[in-house]
Amino acid sequence: MSTGLPRPAGPTIRDAIERVDAATVAAARALPAATLHEAGGRIGVLPSAIKPVAPAFRVCGPAVTVQSPGGDNLWLHRALYIAAPGDVLVVHVSGAHDFGYWGEIMSAAANARQLGGLVIDGCVRDGAVLADFGFPVFARGLCIRGTGKDFGARGWINHPVLFEDLVVQPGDLIVGDTDGVVALPRARAAEIVQLAQAREAKEAGIVQRIQSGERTLEVYNF
């Protein structure tokens, strides 16, 4: 959505990125995050503490990555107006988890921008109303501690971001559900989605066999 206003700019902001293609994103929407993780060779797991703020939340879309100074959410506000419709903001907060980086106002802004979701390695607030907004938020939890807006602090938008041992690149495919969040490399996303679809079909057949009386020991030749 264009307002005619200038977009945020600066030496650490990348505006144009290559994104995973729309057809792959659409196909991934029907697949569990855990299945995509397994199908890709057990890759892409974001920290397990990051979970949906509301149980019904699900996220799927290309990553717009944000490295934010701890205890400051100015770079999240900037990222709102760099991201395109359908994009998922993937935010690292430099280890300062216990702040409310996001809330009702920012979810309203993200909905107005038609973004795809937020995945943040920190806390958010206004948890009682975020579900009503319907904008999918995945976070470490809830925290009422306020954030600052330091205009002299350095952050990055659309650069590689490190979550524990996982590097998320801008444009990677992000999928999250009640089990957690997975990031799939853009170059492999279509292949992994196809493998995940085959895995889901195979597992459906296994479930039918077990429901018909077979044991897991024989099904898997344990």
Q: Measure the CA–CA gap between 161 and 56, rounded to whole angstroms.
A: 27
- Got the DSSP string for 2-69? --SSPPP--TTB--------HHHHHHHTTS-HHHHHHHTTS--BPPTT-EESSTT--EEEEEEEEE--
- Name the binding residues for Mg(2+): 126
The dihedral built from the CA positions of residue 188, 157, 153 and 113, taken in this order, carries a sign that is negative
Say whether 103 sits in a helix, a strand or coil: coil
- The amino acid at 146: G
Q: What would the two tokens of residue 39 be? A: 């199908």
Q: Measure the CA–CA gap between 53 and 139, rounded to whole angstroms.
A: 7
- Name the binding residues: 103-106, 125-126
Say whether 221 sits in a helix, a strand or coil: coil
- Name the binding residues for substrate: 103-106, 125
